[in-house]
Amino acid sequence: MAMSAVPDLESLRLLVLVDELGSMGKAAATLGIAQPSASKRLSTLERRLGLVLVDRTRRGSALTPSGRVVCGWAQRVLGELDGLLTGAEALRTRRDAELRVAASMTIAEHLVPVWIGELRKSEPGLYVGLRVTNSVNVGELVRDGEVDVGFVESPSAPGGLSTRRVATDRLLVVVAPSHPFARRRRPLSTAELAREGLVVREPGSGTRETLEQALHRADVGELTPLVELGSAAAVRGAVIAGTGPAVMSELAVAADLAEGRLVAVEVSGLDLRRTLRAVWPSGRKLTGPAAALLAAATRRG
C-alpha cells in the first residue's frame, strides 16, 4: 500500500469518537477541532480507504456497516499504539522508576503495557521502569533486589520466589506458507517435530524451556535447534523468511496467522499450554504500586 493511502491516527480517533458519541460535532469538540475540519478529515479518510464510513444526517452521524468494521480495526490500532507508548515510557524511565518491573519478552511485548496502562489510570503520575529479558534472568533480577516484581513464562516457577498465576498462554508450531508442513493434511507426530530442525530462542527462554519439557514428557528425544536467536521478533522474522519451523507464543503470532504470513501446524500428543506468572521475593508481601500492578495483571489475565 502506498504511504499516501495510510490513514493518519487522528482520523482514526475521530472515527471512533463519532461511533461512540453519535455526532460529528461532539467528536470534533472532544478532539478540540472545528466541525468543518472534522468533516474534511473523515472525507479524506474515506477517499484513502475507498469506502463510505459515515452516514451524515440532520439527526447526527452514524457509521455505515463498513464504517463499523473499520472502526473496530481502528480501535485495535489505537490500542496497540497506546501499548507501544506506555511500554516505551517504561523503558525510558526505568532508572528513576518508582516501580521497577522485569518481564520475559513475550509478556513484555504483549501484556505488560496493557497492565501498566490500567495501573496508570488510578496512578497517573507513577513512573514505571521495565527491564525486558528472558525468564531465567527475570528471576535473578528479582532475587538480587534490582526489580520489585517480575513476570515469567517458564513452565516452572523460579526457585526461592513467591509466585502467582496472572494469565495462560499456548505455544504453536508455525511455518511459512511455502513450507511443506503447511500443506500437511494430518497432524505432525511429536517424534517428527523433535527430529525437525527448529528456529529456537536462547537457553533461559521460557518458550524454549516449555518446548523442551513437553518433548521430554512425550519421551521423543531432545530438541533439534536449526538456528538459535535472542528474541521472539527475530524468530518470527526467520520463520516468515522460510528458514524453518518454530514454536512460538500464540500471543506473538496471532496477527501473522490471521493475515496469512504464517501457518499453524497441528501436532498430536503434545501439550504446549503454559502458565504466565508474577514473581517477587519470597517471604515479602507486595505493597503499593507493585501490588496494584499484580492486581491489574490478574484482572486482565
- From the list 50, 51, 54, 52, the residue with the least C-alpha distance to 20 is 54
pLDDT at 266 over 90: yes
**Domain spans, the chain:** 3-76, 80-164+276-300, 168-274
pLDDT at 231: 83
pLDDT at 278 over 60: yes
pLDDT at 240 over 80: yes
Average pLDDT over residues 12-36: 86
Selected residue with higher pLDDT from 149 and 125? 149
Q: What percent of the chain has pLDDT over 90?
A: 34
Instruction: Give the fold, CATH level 3, of 80-164+276-300.
Output: D-Maltodextrin-Binding Protein; domain 2 (3.40.190)
What are φ and ψ of residue 33, in 5° steps? -125, 160
Q: What percent of the chain has pLDDT over 70?
A: 95
Q: What is the pTM of this model?
A: 0.66
pLDDT at 195: 87
Distance set, CA 274 to CA 152, 166, 172 (Å): 11, 11, 11
Burial class (CB in 10 A: 0-12, 13-18, 19+), 192: middle
Residue 162, C-beta contacts closer than 8 angstroms, at least 6 positions apart: 279, 280, 281, 282, 283, 284
pLDDT at 3 over 70: no
Average pLDDT over residues 32-49: 88
Same fold, 3-76 and 80-164+276-300: no
pLDDT at 85 over 90: no
Residue type (1 letter), 5: A
What is the architecture of the domain spanning 168-274? 3-Layer(aba) Sandwich (3.40)
Distance CA 133, CA 1 (A): 34
Location of C-alpha cell 495462560: 168
CATH number of 3-76: 1.10.10.10
Distance CA 193, CA 137 (A): 28
At 139-194, the pLDDT tens digits run 999 999 999 999 999 888 778 899 999 999 999 999 999 999 999 889 999 988 88
Average pLDDT over residues 197-214: 89
